[in-house]
């Protein structure tokens, strides 16, 4: 069994260290598992000979706690955690969440809002002479001036507010080793201003590449929404390691300079990261609180690759991990699976083998490892690119090898499947094996919507592709004699979706007999194209105006339409149908979404209580 990394002074003394090289401050509890960025970065540094200690969720109200492990020799690394701290703390309705999966016992309040900024400011005050390097999803997706949904305003680059010396964007393993090696050699921070995958602040632009892309400034995008959308589009086109340029944005008296992205990791490099000696457990100090909930999802899951060429507009993963797939070898994955089978609580089920998209195991086309991904076209949208290499052979073989391992009863696939990619594969073997071996009764998929207008904004395939997949899925299950169902996920109130499109979706749900138990409101998280649309009312890629609803009551009506059968939603659905002129959908006809009136008695008679409820419902708007 591996040893956990030090999290307190006693651990450091036990290792015989006088001083640590790096202090890693994290907004999450410490879980030593490769799904947690803190563990990965610290294990990578450890493997390169650095002494690293972790300070998980320090009490930010008392800054002396930040010095508990002593001043590090080379630098302080800061991450807000696996999720953006605001997303972790607040819902789509901007209400506080009740549970934090990344904290022991699921307790809320163990990290501040904007954790990266708060931690960094404290450290800069405590040790002004120590380099502070921020990274993780929060820093990465807030590297330029951006819209913060929960504060409902444009914030400057996180480099400005945090006062950090350097920002690592993306997954960070290559950058952190390069930074550590330079700091060891006595380099100054300015000497590291060319490291790929980093961003920094400077008061003057010196020796900039003439091809560098200058974005509209923070000041400009605060007052001009079109320029905000333009800034988003310009920077998102420069995220490819092979053809992306340096990107610059003026923020107040400083310039944020983003160096091009790091080159994709080779299979050997990916293996080296995932083969490190993770304990695969939460730190034992959390056990009295029942552990850290987030481990439950991933303890028996295997990350097989990173990157995503799906480019869904509401997701920023391609801006963090890139569009080029980087995959581990079968041997590395099989070794991890064997290690999982040895865990005392393993019951024989691998929960997942995937990545951002389960069935993307190799780059979408051959040319991109030389010239990069296309700036002006997507690999799957609006239709699969003619150059797309849609082939599941490697994934199928990997899954077969995993299934054959002793001690493994079943290998599930829980990461999302891109069914348009699956359908584009001419061999169609994957669907057969998926249905036979890798699901159990249900397959969750994410059409997200069915209206062409909305799907166009989302960058998702059309309704016909979803229906085609449903058809082949049902046919396959019939052929192999299994009763298995699709569970489709839909998003309400995405940019482009007015009440009319929401009614269109409700009618589709009626016609296909789908009645979702859970519905998800669109959340404008930092760094996604959909967030840029939500804030600016403009589609960044085209500059065209797009409908956006920000009104909570309109959003509630959209959500209610997706669950029109729920009696609690009756008043909202009725109002939505009346507002869109779809009163023909209220009545006794089979096609109606709402009965003419079904009171509490279950008849068409309205009771006084029903009248009162409708009136109260309207007043609340
Ligand atoms: S050529 Fe096609 S598959 Fe390749 S990167 Fe461009 S859009 Fe994607």
387 CB near ligand 1 (under 6 Å): yes
Q: Is 329 exposed, middle or buried (0-12, 13-18, 19+ CB in 10 A)?
A: middle
Q: What is the pLDDT of residues 106-148, one digit of tens each?
A: 999 999 999 999 999 999 999 999 999 999 999 999 999 999 9
Instruction: Output 509-513 pairs: Cβ under 8 A, ≥24 positions apart.
Output: 509/562, 509/564, 510/564, 510/591, 510/593, 512/470
Stretch 541-555: mean pLDDT: 96
Band of pLDDT at residue 603, cut at 50, 70 and 90 = very low
pLDDT for 115 equals 98
CA of 366 to the centre of ligand 1 (A): 9
Mean pLDDT for 545-559 is 96
Mean pLDDT of 187-196: 91
Write down the pLDDT at residue 598. 52
| Helix (H), strand (E) at residue 394 | helix 393-403
Mean pLDDT, all residues of the chain:
94
* Residue 615 binned pLDDT confidence (cut-offs 50, 70, 90): low
CATH number, residue 355? 3.30.750.210
Tokens linked to 130: 């120590």
Domain end position, chosen among 200, 229, 245:
200
Protein residue closest via CA to atom 6 of ligand 1: 374
Can you tell me which atom of ligand 1 is nearest the CA of 367?
4
Specify the ligand 1 atom closest to the Cα of 323: 5
Q: Tell me, what's the pLDDT at 620?
A: 47
Q: Is the pLDDT of residue 475 over 70?
A: yes
Reply yes or no: is the peptide bond before residue 382 cis, omega within 30 of 0.
Answer: yes
Q: How much is the pLDDT for 492?
A: 97
Q: Report pLDDT for 20.
A: 98
On whether both 424 and 447 belong to a single domain, the answer is no
Highest mean pLDDT among 184-193, 427-436, 508-517, 587-596: 427-436
Q: What is the enclosing helix (H) or strand (E) of 492? A: strand 485-492
For 111-125, 242-256, 592-606, which range has the lowest pLDDT when averaged over its residues?
592-606
In a domain, 294, yes or no: no
Dist CA 248 CA 539 (whole Å): 22
Assess if residue 261 is contained within a domain: no
Owning domain of residue 140: 9-200
Residue 108 lies in a domain: yes
Pick the last residue of a domain from 173, 200, 227.
200
Q: Which of 364, 375, 421 maximizes ligand 1 atoms within 8 Å of its Cβ, making it the mutation to test the pocket?
A: 364
Q: Residue 384 C-alpha to ligand 1 middle, in angstroms?
A: 9
Contacting residues for 215 by C-beta, under 8 A, at least 6 apart: 144, 231, 234, 235, 247, 248, 249
Contact 29, 292 (CB under 8 A): yes
What six digits make up the tokens of 443? 């397959």
Q: Residue whose CA is closest, atom 4 of ligand 1? A: 365
Position of tokens 């010196």? 206
404 in the same domain as 532 = no
- For residue 259, being part of any structural domain is answered with no
Q: Is 291 left (phi over 0), alpha (psi -120 to 50) or beta?
A: left
Same domain, 26 and 158: yes
Same domain assignment for residues 539 and 570: yes
Do 155 and 148 contact (CB within 8 A), yes or no? yes
Portion of the chain with pLDDT greater than 90, in percent: 90
CA of 213 to the centre of ligand 1 (A): 23
Dist CA 137 CA 82 (whole Å): 7
Does ligand 1 come within 6 angstroms of the Cβ of 373?
A: yes
Q: How many CA atoms lie within 13 A of 56 on its CB side?
A: 24
Report the nearest-CA residue for atom 5 of ligand 1.
373
Judge whether 536 lies within some domain: yes
Counted residue by residue, the chain has a size of 621
Q: Looking at ligand 1, which residue's alpha carbon is closest to its atom 8?
A: 379
Helix or strand (DSSP H, E) at 326: strand 326-327
User: Does the beta carbon of 377 sit less than 6 angstroms from any atom of ligand 1?
Assistant: yes
Residue 250: strand pairing partners: 255
Extract the tokens encoding 469. 């997949």
Residue 374 Cβ < 6 Å to ligand 1: yes
- Residue whose Cα lies nearest atom 1 of ligand 1: it is 387
pLDDT of residue 206: 86
Asked if 451 and 556 sit in the same domain, the reply is yes
- Cα distances from 378 to residues 386, 422, 516, in angstroms, run 11, 16, 30
Distance CA 118, CA 112 (A): 7
What per-residue confidence (pLDDT) applies to 602? 44
User: What's 96's domain CATH number?
Assistant: 3.40.50.2300
* Any domain includes 336: yes
621: pLDDT strictly greater than 50: no
- Which residue in 265, 438, 432 sits closest to 354, CA to CA? 438
Could you tell me if 391 and 462 lie in one domain?
no
For residue 131, being part of any structural domain is answered with yes
What is the residue whose two structure tokens read 């059968």?
565
> 189: pLDDT confidence band, cut at 50, 70 and 90?
confident
DSSP tag of 49: T
pLDDT of residue 163: 96
Is residue 325 within 8 Å of 375, Cβ to Cβ? Answer: no
The answer to whether 281 and 48 have CB atoms below 8 angstroms apart is: no
Per-residue pLDDT for 359 more than 80?
yes
- Maximal C-alpha separation, the chain: 82
CATH code, domain with 521: 3.30.750.200
CA of 364 to the centre of ligand 1 (A): 6
d(CA 105, CA 55): 18
Identify the domain boundary among 389, 422, 438. 438
Residues 394 and 534 in one domain: no
3 state SS of 133: strand
**Is the domain of 489 the same as that of 618?**
yes
Q: Are residues 72 and 133 in the same domain?
A: yes
pLDDT bracket for residue 369 (50, 70, 90): confident
Q: Which atom of ligand 1 is nearest to the CA of 368?
A: 5
CA of 301 to the centre of ligand 1 (A): 30
User: Regarding predicted confidence, which is higher, 607 or 539?
Assistant: 539
The number of domains in the chain is: 3
- Ligand 1 center–CA 372 separation, angstroms: 9
Distance 363 CA to ligand 1 centre (A): 9
Ligand 1 close to Cβ of residue 79 (< 6 A): no
491 C-alpha vs ligand 1 centroid, how far in Å? 27
Cite the DSSP H helix spans in 429-498: 429-433, 452-458, 463-480
- Cα distances (angstroms) measured from residue 174 to each of 53, 142, 272: 19, 20, 12
pLDDT of residue 601: 45
**What number of other Cβ atoms are within 10 A of residue 403's Cβ?**
16
Does 383 contact ligand 1 (Cβ within 6 A)? no
Check whether residue 330 and residue 462 sit in a common domain: no
Asked whether residue 425 falls in the same domain as residue 451, the answer is no
pLDDT at 373 over 90: yes
pTM for this entry? 0.92
Instruction: Using DSSP, state whether 592 is helix, strand or coil.
Output: coil
C-beta 311 within 6 A of ligand 1? no
Cα 313 to Cα 460: distance, rounded to the nearest angstrom: 8
Same domain? For 614 and 483 the reply is yes
Distance CA 122, CA 64 (A): 9
Question: Is residue 526 situated within a structural domain?
Answer: yes
- Split at pLDDT 50, 70, 90, the class of 255 is very high
> Tens digit of pLDDT for each residue in 80-98?
999 999 999 999 999 999 9
Which residues neighbour 87 within 8 Å (Cβ) at sequence distance 6 or greater?
523, 525
Residue 379 Cβ inside 6 Å of ligand 1? The answer reads yes
């Amino acid at each position: 069994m591996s040893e956990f990394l030090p999290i307190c002074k006693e651990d450091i003394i036990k290792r015989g260290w006088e001083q640590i090289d790096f202090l890693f401050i994290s907004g999450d509890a410490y879980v030593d598992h490769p799904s947690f960025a803190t563990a990965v970065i610290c294990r990578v540094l450890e493997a390169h000979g650095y002494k690293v200690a972790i300070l998980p969720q320090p009490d930010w109200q008392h800054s002396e706690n930040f010095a508990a492990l002593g001043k590090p020799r080379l630098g302080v690394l800061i991450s807000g955690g696996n999720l953006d701290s605001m997303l972790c703390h607040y819902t789509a309705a901007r209400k506080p969440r009740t549970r934090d999966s990344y904290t022991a016992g699921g307790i809320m309040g163990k990290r501040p809002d904007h954790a990266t900024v708060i931690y960094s400011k404290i450290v800069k005050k405590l040790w002004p002479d120590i380099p502070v390097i921020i990274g993780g999803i929060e820093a990465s997706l807030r590297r330029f001036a951006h819209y913060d949904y929960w504060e409902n305003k444009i914030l400057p680059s996180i480099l400005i507010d945090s006062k950090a010396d350097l920002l690592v964007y993306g997954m960070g393993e290559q950058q952190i080793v390069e930074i550590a090696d330079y700091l060891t050699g006595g380099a100054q921070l300015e000497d590291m201003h060319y490291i790929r995958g980093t961003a920094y602040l400077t008061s003057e632009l010196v020796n900039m590449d003439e091809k560098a892309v200058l974005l509209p400034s923070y000041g400009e995008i605060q007052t001009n929404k079109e320029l905000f959308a333009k800034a988003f589009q310009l920077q998102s086109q420069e995220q490819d390691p092979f053809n992306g340029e340096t990107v610059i944005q003026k923020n107040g008296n400083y310039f944020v300079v983003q160096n091009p992205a790091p080159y994709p990791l080779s299979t050997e490099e990916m293996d080296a990261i995932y083969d490190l000696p993770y304990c695969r457990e939460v730190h034992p100090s959390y056990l009295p609180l029942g552990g850290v909930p987030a481990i439950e999802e991933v303890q028996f899951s295997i990350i097989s690759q990173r990157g995503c060429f799906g480019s869904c507009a509401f997701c920023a993963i391609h801006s963090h991990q890139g569009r080029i797939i980087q995959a581990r070898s079968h041997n590395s994955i099989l070794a991890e699976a064997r290690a999982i089978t040895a865990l005392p609580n393993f019951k024989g089920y691998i929960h997942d083998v995937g990545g951002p998209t389960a069935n993307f195991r190799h780059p979408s086309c051959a040319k991109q490892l030389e010239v990069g991904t296309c700036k002006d076209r997507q690999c799957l949208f609006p239709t699969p690119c003619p150059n797309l290499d849609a082939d599941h052979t490697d994934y199928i073989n990997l899954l077969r090898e995993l299934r054959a391992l002793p001690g493994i009863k079943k290998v599930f696939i829980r990461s999302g499947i891109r069914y348009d990619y699956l359908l584009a594969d001419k061999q169609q073997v994957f669907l057969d094996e998926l249905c036979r071996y890798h699901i159990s009764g249900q397959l969750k998929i994410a059409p997200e919507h069915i209206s062409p207008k909305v799907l166009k904004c989302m960058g998702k395939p059309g309704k016909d592709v979803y229906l085609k997949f449903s058809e082949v899925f049902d046919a396959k299950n019939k052929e192999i004699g299994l009763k298995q169902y699709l569970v489709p996920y839909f998003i309400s109130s995405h940019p482009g979706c007015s009440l009319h499109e929401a009614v269109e979706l409700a009618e589709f749900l009626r016609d296909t007999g789908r009645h979702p138990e859970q519905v998800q409101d669109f959340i404008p998280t930092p760094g996604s194209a959909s967030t840029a649309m939500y804030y600016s009312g403009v589609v960044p890629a085209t500059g065209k105006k797009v409908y956006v609803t920000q009104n909570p009551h309109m959003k509630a009506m959209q959500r209610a339409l997706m669950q029109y059968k729920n009696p609690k939603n009756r008043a909202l659905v009725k109002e939505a149908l009346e507002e869109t002129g779809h009163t023909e959908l209220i009545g006794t006809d089979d096609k109606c979404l709402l009965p003419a009136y079904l009171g509490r008695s279950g008849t068409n008679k309205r009771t006084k209580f029903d009248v009162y409820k409708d009136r109260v419902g309207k007043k609340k708007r």
